[in-house]
């Protein structure tokens, strides 16, 4: 009997331990998955540039360029800055690109103070920042689509309506000209770049009343597609046919409209410099040339952003 | 021919003692590995989980109700998250344990042999299904049903926030199903371990089979059944993957039709992009969960020790 109890105890302890381990393992996997996703994207981008680089390398003699480029600024631009830094350094092994993520305003301050070469900002520069010597170089545009389930009869929202919906003031689609169905407000988790951009553009920082906070773009699309009356937001490049994108202020969510500046749920990604690009160091000038090249554009669209011409 | 004999287990004394010693060392190493893992996890959790506690304030974290980790003035209150884990687990146990124990009684006592042969593998299969599959099924089947229920109950309500079926109740149901195999298997073994003489005596005194089950067998199997319940609690509180898909994952008061976030899902949901203090607080949540699991383990051990003393 004693032996049996001992066995039971051992098994029981092993099981509880196993379960706990399962819980934490699950957490770990998700974390690493996300990390892996980002790296895959970046390496993808890097790989694609590698191939083109090989073709052009003899003509350009890129190895000659050397120096350092320091960036600081927007946390939303972390993915873009890292991807650009990585692929640029792969192309020009002599150049070191460092990136810090301190926030848009801090980045612009740093560049006007001359402590970094490039200040990353995920918003347009203010007039006083331009007066202080910062030059606005828009390298990419971040666009967000508002999606609903395909059977929803509402075709579009105004900015004010969208804000009211996400604040929880409008709770039924009938108030927006749709069917009598409650609105299920879906968003991303705190810390997500898409959520940050969405709330920042609408002036809703941490004021949203979410019914569901999901931890990936795919999950938002799946949930919206499966839930009648749901509304969600996703990065524009993730849009697919399972959900319906709403027009905002009667403007469709397309890359063209965003480039033309008609679609309000978008923001520029600015790499600000102190003075014009032509006044910068050779390495920095080359970086901007690189961003405007086809390879650079591949990197930009590789992280889900819209390129500028 | 003679050579082959040297390989026999009847080898000489020297060989034998060497084998014994090596085996001894291997066993000891394996045992230390397990202990090492436990100690390093504990140390790691404490080192990573405590700084945020002091930086933000123990009261602000454990008893704050506002979770806004990325706001300008961030707020890291996880009271609702803790309450959700406690209430969600309690409800899941309340739902799953009676079903589990009665199934165990059925399997061990009343089931016809053929039917038991069908149910038993089914239960074991239930234990082997990956938790994410439970979550997916919950997402595809349970959530739409819950949404219909929600629409019916809160029809015309101005104050209720509609969740599309992703709520505490969905998570509780998924958890209840997930703890079933644990509860059933352990209670069944406990019931089977009750000495047949007790059952025979009860029947001989004229008690019916059902009376015998509830008055004699279940009380006799008490400590095993409590073990089953505690292990069920452990499984429910540590589960993350399944409920992250069905619970909605907003930080709210744990009411049945609210979208809620558990301790486990709080870590899973935000670890991806969290940085700085936010990330540290996620580790603190992990530490809280760890403490809960430890309490459950200690409870389990003391129950088993008590049972052992009663037996002796």
ipTM for the assembly? 0.75
pLDDT at B8 over 70: no
Question: Looking at residue B202, what is its pLDDT?
Answer: 94
Range among A299-308, B64-73, B280-289 with highest mean pLDDT value: B280-289
- Within 150-209 of A, beta carbons closer than 8 Å to B belong to 168, 171, 182-186, 189-193, 196, 205-206, 209
**Tens-digit pLDDT profile for residues A268-298:** 899 999 988 888 888 999 999 999 999 999 9
* pLDDT band at A67; cut points 50, 70, 90: confident
Please give the share of chain B, as a percent, with pLDDT higher than 90. 62
Both A289 and A262 in one domain: the answer is no
Both A200 and A297 in one domain: the answer is no
Tell me the nearest-neighbour CA distance from A63 into chain B, angstroms.
35
Both A186 and A256 in one domain: the answer is yes
Give, as one character, the DSSP assignment of residue A104: H
Question: Looking at residue A39, what is its pLDDT?
Answer: 41
In a domain, A249, yes or no: yes
Domain count, chain A: 3
Question: Looking at residue A35, what is its pLDDT?
Answer: 41
- CA dist B299 to A7, A23, A52, B85, B98, Å? 17, 20, 63, 18, 20
Question: Looking at residue B175, what is its pLDDT?
Answer: 95
Please give the share of chain A, as a percent, with pLDDT higher than 90. 33
Both A151 and A13 in one domain: the answer is no
Range among A95-104, B85-94, B239-248 with highest mean pLDDT value: B85-94
Give the pairing type, strands A184-188 and A230-235.
parallel
Question: Looking at residue A61, what is its pLDDT?
Answer: 45
Both A215 and A245 in one domain: the answer is yes
In a domain, A149, yes or no: yes
Residue of A189, A158, A173, A172 lying closest to A265 (CA atoms): A158
pLDDT at B262 over 50: yes
Q: Which domain holds residue A55?
A: 1-64
| CATH number of the domain encompassing residue A103 | 3.40.190.10
Q: Report residue B148 as tokens.
A: 């219909």
pLDDT at A12 over 70: no
Question: How many CB atoms are located within 10 Å of the residue A94 CB?
Answer: 13
Both A125 and A188 in one domain: the answer is no
- Within 229-258 of A, beta carbons closer than 8 Å to B belong to 229-230
Place of tokens 């553009």: A201
**Tens-digit pLDDT profile for residues B98-151:** 999 999 999 999 999 999 999 999 999 998 999 889 988 998 899 999 999 998
Question: Looking at residue B15, what is its pLDDT?
Answer: 75
The pLDDT mean for chain B works out to 89
| Interface contact flag, B304 A227, Cβ < 8 Å | no
Question: Looking at residue B7, what is its pLDDT?
Answer: 55
Chain B interface disruption, residue of A26, A205, A225, most B CBs within 10 A: A26
Tell me the nearest-neighbour CA distance from B256 into chain A, angstroms.
14
The pLDDT mean for chain A works out to 80
**Out of A23, A35, A226, whose CB is closest to B240?**
A23
Ranking A19-33, B126-140, B279-293 by mean pLDDT, the lowest is A19-33
In a domain, A127, yes or no: yes
Nearest CA in chain A to B223: A5
Residue of B188, B176, B209, B189 lying closest to B99 (CA atoms): B176
Both A107 and A247 in one domain: the answer is no
Which of residues A41, A64, A87 is at a domain's end?
Answer: A64
Question: Looking at residue B160, what is its pLDDT?
Answer: 85
In a domain, A308, yes or no: no
Both A109 and A38 in one domain: the answer is no
- All residues of chain B having their beta carbon less than 8 Å from the beta carbon of residue A213 are 248-250, 261, 269
Question: Looking at residue A124, what is its pLDDT?
Answer: 84
Question: Looking at residue B170, what is its pLDDT?
Answer: 94
| Interface contact flag, A226 B140, Cβ < 8 Å | yes
Both A53 and A91 in one domain: the answer is no
**Tens-digit pLDDT profile for residues A113-167:** 989 999 998 888 888 888 988 999 999 998 899 999 999 999 999 999 999 999 9
Please give the share of chain B, as a percent, with pLDDT higher than 70. 95
How far is it, in rounded angstroms, from Cα A299 to Cα A41?
9
């Amino acid at each position: 009997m004693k032996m049996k109890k001992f066995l039971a105890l051992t098994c029981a302890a092993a099981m509880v331990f196993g379960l706990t381990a399962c819980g934490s393992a699950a957490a770990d996997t998700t974390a690493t998955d996300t990390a892996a996703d980002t790296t895959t994207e970046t390496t993808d981008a890097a790989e694609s540039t590698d191939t083109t680089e090989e073709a052009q390398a003899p003509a350009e003699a890129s190895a000659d360029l050397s120096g350092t480029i320091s960036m600081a600024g927007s946390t939303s631009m972390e993915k873009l800055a890292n991807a650009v830094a990585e692929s640029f350094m792969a192309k020009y092994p002599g150049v070191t690109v460092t990136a810090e993520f301190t926030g848009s305003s801090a980045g612009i301050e740093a560049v006007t103070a001359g402590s970094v070469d490039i200040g990353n900002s995920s918003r347009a520069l203010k007039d006083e920042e331009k007066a202080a010597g910062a030059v606005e170089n828009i390298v990419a545009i971040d666009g967000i689509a508002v999606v609903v389930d395909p059977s929803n009869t509402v075709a579009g929202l105004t900015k004010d309506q969208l804000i009211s919906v996400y604040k929880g003031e409008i709770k039924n689609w009938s108030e927006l000209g749709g069917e009598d169905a409650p609105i299920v407000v879906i968003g991303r988790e705190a810390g997500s770049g898409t959520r940050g951009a969405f709330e920042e553009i609408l002036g809703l920082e941490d004021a949203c009343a979410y019914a569901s906070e999901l931890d990936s773009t795919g999950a938002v699309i799946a949930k919206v597609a499966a839930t009648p009356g749901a509304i969600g937001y996703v990065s524009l490049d993730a849009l697919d046919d399972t959900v319906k994108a709403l027009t905002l202020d009667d403007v469709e969510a397309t890359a063209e409209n965003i480039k033309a500046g008609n679609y309000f749920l978008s923001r520029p990604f600015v790499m600000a410099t102190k003075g014009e690009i032509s006044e910068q160091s050779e390495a920095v000038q080359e970086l901007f040339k690189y961003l405007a090249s086809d390879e650079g554009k591949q990197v930009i669209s590789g992280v889900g952003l819209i390129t500028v011409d | 021919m003679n050579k082959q004999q040297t390989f026999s287990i009847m080898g000489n004394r020297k060989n034998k003692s060497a084998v014994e010693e090596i085996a001894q060392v291997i066993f000891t190493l394996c045992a230390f590995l397990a202990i090492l893992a436990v100690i390093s996890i504990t140390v790691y959790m404490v080192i990573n989980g405590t700084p945020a506690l002091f930086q933000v304030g123990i009261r602000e974290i454990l008893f704050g109700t506002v979770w806004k980790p990325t706001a300008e003035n961030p707020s890291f209150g996880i009271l609702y998250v803790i309450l959700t884990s406690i209430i969600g687990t309690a409800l899941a146990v309340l739902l799953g344990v009676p079903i589990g124990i009665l199934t165990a009684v059925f399997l061990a006592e009343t089931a016809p042999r053929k039917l038991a042969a069908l149910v038993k593998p089914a239960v074991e299969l239930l234990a082997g299904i990956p938790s994410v599959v439970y979550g997916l099924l919950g997402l595809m089947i349970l959530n739409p049903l819950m949404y219909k229920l929600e629409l019916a109950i809160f029809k015309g309500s101005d104050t209720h926030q509609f969740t599309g079926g992703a709520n505490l109740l969905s998570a509780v149901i998924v958890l209840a199903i997930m703890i079933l195999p644990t509860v059933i298997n352990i209670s069944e073994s406990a019931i089977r371990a009750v000495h047949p003489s007790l059952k025979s005596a009860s029947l001989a005194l004229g008690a019916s089979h059902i009376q015998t089950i509830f008055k004699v067998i279940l009380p006799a199997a008490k400590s095993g059944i409590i073990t089953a319940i505690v292990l069920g609690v452990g499984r429910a509180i540590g589960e993350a993957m399944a409920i992250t898909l069905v619970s909605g994952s907003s930080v709210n008061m744990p009411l049945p039709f609210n979208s809620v976030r558990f301790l486990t899902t709080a870590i899973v949901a935000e670890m991806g992009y969290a940085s700085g203090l936010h990330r540290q607080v996620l580790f603190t949540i992990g530490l809280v969960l760890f403490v809960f699991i430890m309490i459950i383990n200690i409870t389990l051990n003391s129950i088993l020790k008590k049972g052992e003393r009663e037996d002796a």
